[in-house]
């Protein structure tokens, strides 16, 4: 019997050993590459955190400058101009924060699929609450910076610098929102927003989806901001600073203000007609009547400045109040009965038979009945003051108007929580 030599044994073991060594080197290279990638990611995250911190600090510095200026160095005229020119973008930023809050609520419910499926959004990454919060934060800091620059550049005799800042403040967000590209992240959001705007601009051209009338309803709550935008455009176009908004070509007497205020209601009215044409459901006509009831409120308020005081006091004002009451009550009923699908205005005996909590429904996503009762009360309270956002003849009460506008934005996004809930339960 021939015994293999040690050299032979080594020779036969060589390939296996080489393979092990190669595998070890590959694993080592992969580990090194992963470590390098982790290091780069850590550095990137640190840089991002540093930039974000600096951004936040600058925002608070702007707040301090504005607060100090308002109480020490600014006259009433400049404070009034800040109210006129920056109310619209501030309200839109607040709306962005409220929408992010809604997304966060749905995220914490751990629903599968996400309620975003109601809007036709396939992936949650295209609209996360973290991303919307960051967008709102960036918008807030940019607005604060613009306010500070506006105050330091304002000159009644040389308004070019101030109006240029205003133009940049309004144009850049629009460019960012509507810029056509196919990148991930905000690119997807921009594409989605462009599609919604186009669908709302052509309400009769195609069947109305959930996202279409949902977005149009949000525009109804932002009607006051849209009219403020028209005022700013008028001011920048004519190169003037609105020191007093009661007079002038861009003042409260302009017919363009009620014309812009009525646009969201007209869009929803036409959407309801299109829905009736597609479904033949009578409910769509009643919904159209709800939005049409806002027309006389806006129109009568718009012509207030051309009506004699006695005629306004004894005829037009009572008529205006009557339309306001009708629209408020009808809208509140529609919110509870149809949009939220609650049984507050339903059959009490049926609720007792089905053992449903008073005024609610059997299937609910948000748990305890007290959540729904609080939402009903807040919705009613905020509905009562809605006329301020549509009444151009009440705009001299700037502080109250700010509060009412914020209340309406809060009511709308509170409404959206339960409106999306109903649609989600219908689909699942």
Q: Write out pLDDT tens, residues 320-342.
A: 889 988 998 999 999 999 999 99
Residue 125 gets which letter from DSSP? G
Q: What is the DSSP letter of 394?
A: G
For 262, residues 6+ apart whose C-beta sits below 8 A from its C-beta are 223, 294, 295, 298, 299
As a whole number of angstroms, the distance between CA 365 and CA 106 comes to 9
pLDDT of 86 reads 86
Rounded to an integer, what distance in angstroms lies between the CA atom of residue 300 and that of residue 139? 35
Ranges 3-17, 38-52, 190-204: which has the least confidence: 3-17
* Mean pLDDT of all residues in 143-163: 79
**pLDDT at residue 350, as a whole number:** 65
Q: What is each CA distance from 363 to 207, 208, 359, 421, in whole angstroms? A: 28, 26, 13, 10
The Cα–Cα gap between 218 and 268 comes to 10
Give the sign of the dihedral formed by CA 20, CA 23, CA 29, CA 33: negative
pLDDT surpasses 80 at 186: no
- Greater confidence, 388 or 413? 413
Per-residue pLDDT, 401? 73
Residue 41 pLDDT greater than 80, yes or no: no
Instruction: Please report which confidence band the pLDDT of residue 26 belongs to, taking 50, 70 and 90 as the band edges.
Output: low
Angle between helices 186-201 and 210-221 (to 10 degrees): 80
Give pTM, 2 decimals.
0.83
Q: What are phi and psi of 222, to 5 degrees?
A: -100, 20
| pLDDT confidence bin for 10, thresholds 50/70/90 | very low
Buried b / exposed e across 132-152, counting CB within 10 Å, b at 16+?
Answer: bbebbbbbbbbbbbbbbbbbe
Give mean pLDDT, residues 185-194.
Answer: 79
As a whole number, mean pLDDT of residues 138-154 equals: 86
Q: Where residue 37 falls among pLDDT bands split at 50, 70, 90?
A: low
Three-state DSSP at 35 gives: helix
The mean pLDDT value of the chain amounts to 80
For the segment 362-374, the average pLDDT, to the nearest whole number, is: 90
Q: How many residues does the chain have?
A: 428
Q: For residue 428, what pLDDT is reported? A: 83
| For residue 22, pLDDT beyond 60 | no
């Amino acid at each position: 019997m021939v015994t293999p030599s040690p050299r032979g044994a080594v020779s036969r073991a060589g390939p296996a050993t080489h393979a092990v060594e190669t595998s070890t080197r590959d694993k080592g290279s992969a580990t090194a590459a992963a470590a390098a990638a982790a290091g780069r990611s850590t550095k990137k995250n640190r840089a991002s955190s540093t930039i974000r911190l600096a951004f936040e600090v600058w925002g608070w510095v702007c707040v301090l400058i504005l607060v100090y200026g308002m109480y020490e160095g600014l006259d009433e005229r400049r404070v009034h101009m800040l109210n006129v020119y920056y109310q619209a973008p501030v309200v839109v930023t607040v709306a962005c924060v409220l929408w992010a809050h809604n997304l966060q609520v749905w995220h914490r419910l751990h629903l599968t699929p996400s309620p975003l499926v109601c809007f036709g959004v396939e992936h949650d990454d295209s609209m996360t609450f973290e991303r919307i919060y960051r967008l709102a934060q960036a918008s807030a800091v940019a607005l604060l910076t613009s306010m500070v620059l506006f105050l330091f550049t304002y000159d009644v005799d040389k308004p070019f610098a101030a109006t240029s800042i205003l133009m940049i403040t309004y144009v850049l967000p629009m460019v960012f929102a509507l810029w056509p590209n196919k990148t991930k992240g905000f690119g997807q959001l921009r594409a989605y927003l462009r599609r919604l705007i186009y669908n709302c601009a052509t309400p009769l051209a195609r069947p109305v989806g959930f996202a279409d009338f949902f977005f149009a309803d949000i525009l109804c709550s932002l009607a006051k901001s849209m009219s403020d935008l028209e005022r700013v455009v008028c001011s920048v176009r004519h190169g003037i600073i609105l020191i007093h908004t009661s007079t002038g070509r861009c003042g409260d007497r302009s017919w363009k203000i009620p014309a812009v205020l009525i646009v969201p209601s007209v869009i929803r009215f036409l959407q309801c007609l299109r829905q009736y044409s597609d479904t033949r459901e009578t409910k769509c006509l009643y919904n159209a009547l709800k939005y049409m009831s806002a027309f006389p409120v806006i129109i009568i308020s718009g012509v207030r400045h051309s009506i004699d005081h006695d005629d306004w006091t004894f005829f037009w004002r009572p008529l205006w109040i009557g339309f306001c009451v009708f629209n408020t009550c009808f809208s509140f009923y529609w919110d509870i009965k149809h949009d939220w699908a609650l049984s507050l205005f339903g059959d009490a005996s049926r609720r007792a038979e089905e053992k449903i909590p008073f005024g609610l429904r059997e299937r609910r996503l948000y748990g305890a009945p007290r959540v729904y009762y609080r939402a009903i009360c807040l919705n009613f309270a905020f509905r009562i003051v809605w006329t301020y956002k549509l009444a151009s003849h009440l705009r001299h009460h700037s502080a109250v108007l700010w509060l009412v506008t914020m209340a309406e934005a809060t009511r709308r996004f509170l409404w959206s929580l339960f409106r999306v809930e109903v649609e989600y339960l219908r689909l699942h």
